Amino acid sequence: MLSRAASNTPSLHAVQAAIEQYGDTSKLRLRGTMLPAPATGEVRIRHAAIGVNFVDIYHRTGLYRLPELPAVLGIEAAGVIDAIGPGVESLHPGQRVAYCGPPAGSYASARNMSADRVLPLPDDIGDETAASLLLRGITAHMLCSCVYPVKAGDTVLVHAAAGGLGLVLVQWAKALGARVIGTVGSVAKAELAKAHGLDEAILYREQDLVGEIQALTSGLGVDFAIDGIGGKTLIETLGTVRPFGTVASIGQVSGDPGPIDLSLLGPARSIALSRPSVFRFIADPARYREGALATFQQLRSGLKAKIGAALPLAQVAEAQRRLEAGETSGSIILRP
């Protein structure tokens, strides 16, 4: 069992957004708790900004089961170290930090967590910027460097191009020299995505995805397609990719597509289907820090953080409702 820090580090009152059972947004409840001094190898962080991600909804509904209930949701935040536990030498009180990934618990005004999951935050990167796109930046790095190394001249398809991850992916792929085609739900979202570098927008409610991609690529198809929608959209996406191209399935907002017939991939089509997990990627400490440094560098090179809404922690249910309903553009953050 981890030992606690010296008794001269007092406990801290914190507010948390937790669930006692899986279900809809009504299951989210605010509660107060006393955080003890951080244990050996831990730090205590006072949050300044908290990221809201679709995986938080998967956790709330039980699609992705948490280790135990009740549980505090949230996997991304930025803030200031309030106290350090024994054995922590690389971080210090007063230092600005950010983090993303398991274990859940960021929907809180403060939390204790393992120091080896905490990243020092550069002075030129703001708390809300970090909380809104650290996980998304690492995801973009994983997709564009490991899953399919995007290079100049490639054509990339990004679904939900005006969403929080979509806008990051558009900018990331453009920075690597790719042509980017994106699906969006409205003209306003198309304009937003184009303002962030999108080359062509497909209004998925009005236009045929496969037909539009064939027209835009002279029948060749895209080199790399990134789908976080799932359901029938994933099946349709398989028809947008050139022979020996790649599809990355990174989410299932509209549901599980079910078993996929391998005949949809090859040999006639000869495409690769990847199901990468950013949580698996960042479980490797070296890759976690590599992805974070790549994100910081992209921010310094012009990557723009689009925060579509900033709500108080007390409105966490509304934040999740908006995200789940597709009412948002860019990212949502919570302020403790």
222: CATH: 3.40.50.720
3-state secondary structure of 135: helix
Asked whether residue 3 carries a pLDDT value surpassing 70, the answer given is no
266 and 182 housed in the same domain? yes
Q: Give 10-21 pLDDT, tens digit per residue.
A: 999 999 999 999
Asked whether residue 98 carries a pLDDT value surpassing 90, the answer given is yes
DSSP codes joined into one string, 35-75: E---BTTEEEEEEEEEEE-HHHHHHHHTSS--SSSSEE---
Would residue 140 count as lying in a domain? no
Element holding 174 (H helix, E strand): helix 164-175
Which residues make Cβ contacts (< 8 Å) with residue 161, sequence separation at least 6? 167, 169, 170, 180, 182, 183, 184, 189, 193, 198, 201
What are the CA-CA distances from residue 164 to residues 91, 193, 219, 327 (Å)?
30, 11, 30, 12
32 and 124 housed in the same domain? yes
39 and 114 housed in the same domain? yes
Would residue 143 count as lying in a domain? no
Element holding 166 (H helix, E strand): helix 164-175
- Residue 326: predicted pLDDT: 82
205 and 315 housed in the same domain? no
Q: Could you tell me if 199 and 181 are in contact, meaning their C-beta atoms sit under 8 angstroms apart?
A: yes
Would residue 146 count as lying in a domain? no
12-19/222-227 β-pairing: unpaired
Would residue 201 count as lying in a domain? yes
* CA dihedral angle for residue 156, residue 191, residue 307, residue 233, rounded to 10 degrees: -50
Would residue 141 count as lying in a domain? no
158 and 270 housed in the same domain? yes
270 and 284 housed in the same domain? no
Out of 9-23, 177-191, 228-242, 244-258, least confident range: 244-258
160 and 243 housed in the same domain? yes
262 and 308 housed in the same domain? no
> CATH code at 328?
3.90.180.10
Total domains in the chain come to 2
62 and 117 housed in the same domain? yes
Q: Give 209-239 pLDDT, tens digit per residue.
A: 999 999 999 999 999 999 999 888 999 999 9
Domain edge (last residue) among 247, 274, 301: 274
Domain edge (last residue) among 274, 295, 314: 274
- Residue 28: predicted pLDDT: 97
Would residue 190 count as lying in a domain? yes
- Measured CA to CA, the distance from residue 103 to residue 73 in angstroms comes to 9
- Measured CA to CA, the distance from residue 158 to residue 121 in angstroms comes to 29
88 and 168 housed in the same domain? no
- Residue 330: predicted pLDDT: 84
Give the torsion sign (CA, 146, 50, 111, 64).
Answer: negative
Would residue 178 count as lying in a domain? yes
What range defines the domain where residue 190 resides? 152-274
Q: Which residue has the tokens 């989410």?
A: 251
Give the torsion sign (CA, 190, 191, 195, 197).
Answer: positive
Would residue 293 count as lying in a domain? yes
Q: Give 253-310 pLDDT, tens digit per residue.
A: 766 777 777 777 777 678 999 999 999 999 999 999 999 999 999 999 999 999 999 9
269 and 295 housed in the same domain? no
pLDDT band per the 50, 70, 90 thresholds, residue 327: confident
Q: Give 127-137 pLDDT, tens digit per residue.
A: 999 999 999 99
Question: The tokens of 331 are what?
Answer: 């990212």
263 and 224 housed in the same domain? yes
- Residue 101: predicted pLDDT: 96
Average pLDDT, the chain: 94
Q: Give 42-65 pLDDT, tens digit per residue.
A: 999 999 999 999 999 999 999 999
Over range 95-108, report the average pLDDT: 97
Over range 147-173, report the average pLDDT: 96
Which residues make Cβ contacts (< 8 Å) with residue 216, sequence separation at least 6? 181, 200
